[in-house]
Chains A and B, each alone.
Chain A
Amino acid sequence: AQSVTQLDSQVPVFEEAPVELRCNYSSSVSVYLFWYVQYPNQGLQLLLKYLSGSTLVKGINGFEAEFNKSQTSFHLRKPSVHISDTAEYFCAVSEWGSQGNLIFGKGTKLSVKP
């Protein structure tokens, strides 16, 4: 069975500082990896996804993530955050060949302070 662990439930950071949100996954089969963002009182939207190829994936709003197969990790990074990045971030996996059902981590709340 697949599982996703987001190691930090909350990450406070000052504006313009770098940030890394950590994600580890467990699966007995190959998976695709996703990061979604949820702004207050809204649904989730896709930030980026890793399917294959280059292990460094760039997404919207200046975010990027790196897939590390040996460590089964998919950490999300941004070199300089803005107040508007305050949101909850979810890491998710889907199994190759499945019909798109996602397994989500518990989420990390990023709080950017001025």
Chain B
Amino acid sequence: DAGVIQSPRHEVTEMGQEVTLRCKPISGHDYLFWYRQTMMRGLELLIYFNNNVPIDDSGMPEDRFSAKMPNASFSTLKIQPSEPRDSAVYFCASIPSGGSSYNEQFFGPGTRLTVL
């Protein structure tokens, strides 16, 4: 299996621009999580989906952030407009079907976002 795939791996953009991060979970996994990692705040859960439906988006910092999962094999995290404080590494992770609190999360390699 290819694992969780994220693209792009690196993104550099200017303040005010729209940024779209992409994630393909492992086939057969029906839970998908988006995290943000910064030096100051560590790893934060932004939102997670089950069967393409958002379950908890309480970690999404502002209305500038939105996430979608149009099908079982693809999710996007969009920031519009982007700001320098959004600079971070964004991770996507997935859990097998029937996800439970004891399951291992499988992480993608992350997208390093720099907003100038």
Q: B97-113 toward A: CB 8 Å interface, digit per residue (1/0)?
A: 00111111101111000
Residues of chain A within 8 A (CB-CB) of B95 are 100
Give the complex CA separation of A106 and B55 in angstroms.
Answer: 24
Residues of chain B within 8 A (CB-CB) of A104 are 42-43
Q: Which residue of B lies closest to A51 (CB)?
A: B102
Residues of chain B within 8 A (CB-CB) of A89 are none
Q: Which residue of B lies closest to A34 (CB)?
A: B104
Give the complex CA separation of A97 and B101 in angstroms.
Answer: 6
Q: A44-B107, A99-B48, A101-B45 are in contact. Are A32 and B102 (CB under 8 A)?
A: yes
Give the complex CA separation of A104 and B100 in angstroms.
Answer: 17
Give the complex CA separation of A15 and B108 in angstroms.
Answer: 29
Asked whether, in the complex, the Cβ of B43 is within 8 Å of the Cβ of A90, the reply is: yes
Contacting residues of chain A (40-59) with chain B, CB-CB under 8 angstroms: 41-46, 49, 51
Residues of chain B within 8 A (CB-CB) of A102 are 33, 45, 105
Residues of chain B within 8 A (CB-CB) of A98 are 101
Distance (whole angstroms) from the CB of A8 to the closest CB of chain B? 14
Residues of chain A within 8 A (CB-CB) of B102 are 32, 49, 51, 94
Residues of chain A within 8 A (CB-CB) of B82 are none
Q: A99-B48, A100-B95 are in contact. Are A94 and B101 (CB under 8 A)?
A: yes
Residues of chain B within 8 A (CB-CB) of A95 are 101
User: Assuming A46-B104, A46-B105, what are 7 further A-B pairs, CB within 8 angstroms?
Assistant: A32-B102, A43-B107, A43-B109, A90-B43, A100-B95, A100-B105, A102-B45
Question: Contact residues of B with A, CB < 8 Å?
Answer: 4, 31, 33, 42-43, 45, 48, 50, 55-56, 91, 93, 95, 99-105, 107-110
